[in-house]
Amino acid sequence: MTGIADLPVWAAIIVCLLVLAGSLFSLIGAIGMVRLPEFYQRLHAPGLATSGAVILVCLGSGLCFALLEGRWIVHEVLIIIFTVLTTPITLMLLGKASLYRDRTEGNDVPAKTVPGPSIADAAANRLPELPTE
Burial 78-104 (b: 16+ CB within 10 A, else e): ebbeebeeebeeeeeeeeeeebbeebe
Number of H helices, E strands in the chain: 6, 0
> Taking CB under 8 A as the rule, does residue 54 contact other proteins?
yes
Residue with smaller CB distance to other proteins, 47 or 130: 47
Residue 68 CB neighbours (<10 A) = 15
Judge whether 87 and 81 are in contact, CB under 8 Å.
no
Total binding residues toward other proteins, as defined by CB under 8 A: 61
Asked whether position 86 contacts other proteins by CB under 8 A, the answer is yes
Interface positions with other proteins (CB under 8 A): 1-7, 9, 12-13, 15-16, 19-20, 22-24, 26-27, 29-31, 33-34, 39, 42-43, 45-46, 49-50, 53-54, 57-58, 60-61, 64-65, 68-69, 73, 75-76, 78-79, 82-83, 86, 89-91, 93-94, 96-98, 100-101, 119, 123
